[in-house]
Structure 1
Amino acid sequence: MNNLYEKKIYAVFGNPISHSKSPEIHNFFYKLYNLNQKYIKIHLSKKNFLKNISFFFKRGGKGANITLPFKEKVFSLCHEITNRAKIAGSINTLKLFENETILGDNTDGIGFLSDLLLKKIVKRKFNILIIGAGGAARGIIYPLLKFGCNIFITNRTFNKAKILSKEFQNFGNIESITLKNLNQMKFNIIVNATSAGIFNNIPLIPENIIRKETICYDMFYKEKNTNFMKFCKNFGSNKVFNGIGMLVNQAAHSFFLWNNIFPNVKKTIKFLTKKKIKKNNKSLKY
Structure 2
Amino acid sequence: MTDAYAVFGNPIAHSKSPYIHRQFAEQAGQDMSYTKQLVPEGEFGAAADAFFLSGGQGLNVTVPFKMDAYSYAARLTQRARRAGAVNTLALQEDGTLLGDNTDGIGMINDMHNLGWPLAGQRVLVLGAGGAVRGILQPLMEQNPAEVVIANRTFHKAEQLAKGFHDLGDIQALTFEQLEGRQFDLVINGTSASLSGELPPLPESLLAPGASCYDMMYGPEKTVFLQWAEAHGAGRLADGLGMLVGQAAEAFYLWRDIRPEVVPVISALRRKMGKKSS
Q: State the TM-score, normalized to the length of structure 1.
A: 0.92
For residue 252 of structure 2, the aligned residue among 256, 260, 272 is 256
Deviates more, 1:224-233 or 1:270-279: 270-279
For residue 204 of structure 2, the aligned residue among 184, 203, 208 is 208
Q: Which residue of 2 aligns with 1:227?
A: 223
Q: Which residue of 2 aligns with 1:186?
A: 182
Q: Which residue of 1 aligns with 2:160?
A: 164
Q: Which residue of 2 aligns with 1:45?
A: 40
Q: Deviations over 1:204-223 (max 9, x none)?
A: 22232135512111001112
Q: Deviations over 1:237-271 (max 9, x none)?
A: 23111001111111111000000000001121122
For residue 97 of structure 2, the aligned residue among 96, 102, 105 is 102
Q: Which amino acid aligns with 2:141?
A: K
Counterpart check, 1:90 vs 2:64: no
Shift of 1:174: 0.4
Q: Which amino acid aligns with 1:218?
A: D
Q: Deviations over 1:178-235 (max 9, x none)?
A: 1111122210111110121232222222232135512111001112111111111122
Q: How does 1:22-61 map to 2 (within 5 A)?
A: 22-61=17-56
| Preserved contact between residue 184 and residue 206 of structure 2 (Cα < 8 Å) | no
**Number of matched pairs:** 276
2:26 is paired with a residue of what secondary structure?
helix
Counterpart Cα distance in 1 of 2:167 and 2:161: 10
Q: Which amino acid aligns with 1:110?
A: I
Shift of 1:137: 0.7
Q: Which residue of 2 aligns with 1:3?
A: none
Q: Deviations over 1:61-112 (max 9, x none)?
A: 1101111111122223211111110011111100012332100001111111
Counterpart check, 1:74 vs 2:69: yes
- Structure 1 runs not aligned, ≥5 long: 1-5
Q: Which amino acid aligns with 1:92?
A: N
The CA RMSD measured in Å over matched residues stands at: 1.5
| Preserved contact between residue 70 and residue 84 of structure 2 (Cα < 8 Å) | no
Q: Which residue of 1 aligns with 2:169?
A: 173
| Preserved contact between residue 150 and residue 173 of structure 2 (Cα < 8 Å) | yes
| Preserved contact between residue 182 and residue 204 of structure 2 (Cα < 8 Å) | no
- Structure 2 runs not aligned, ≥5 long: none
What percent of counterpart residues are identical?
41
Counterpart Cα distance in 1 of 2:228 and 2:30: 41
Counterpart Cα distance in 2 of 1:56 and 1:180: 48
Shift of 1:45: 0.9
Counterpart Cα distance in 2 of 1:119 and 1:202: 25
Q: State the TM-score, normalized to the length of structure 2.
A: 0.95
Q: 1:260 to 1:49 in 2, by over 3 A?
A: same
For residue 272 of structure 2, the aligned residue among 271, 276, 282 is 276
Q: Deviations over 1:108-162 (max 9, x none)?
A: 1111111111111123121110000000110111111111012100000111111
| Preserved contact between residue 182 and residue 207 of structure 2 (Cα < 8 Å) | no
Q: Deviations over 1:159-180 (max 9, x none)?
A: 1111110010111110111111
Counterpart Cα distance in 2 of 1:207 and 1:26: 41
Q: Which amino acid aligns with 2:232?
A: G
For residue 12 of structure 1, the aligned residue among 7, 11, 15 is 7
1:153 is paired with a residue of what secondary structure?
strand
Q: Which amino acid aligns with 1:270?
A: S
| Preserved contact between residue 8 and residue 36 of structure 1 (Cα < 8 Å) | yes
| Preserved contact between residue 11 and residue 42 of structure 1 (Cα < 8 Å) | yes
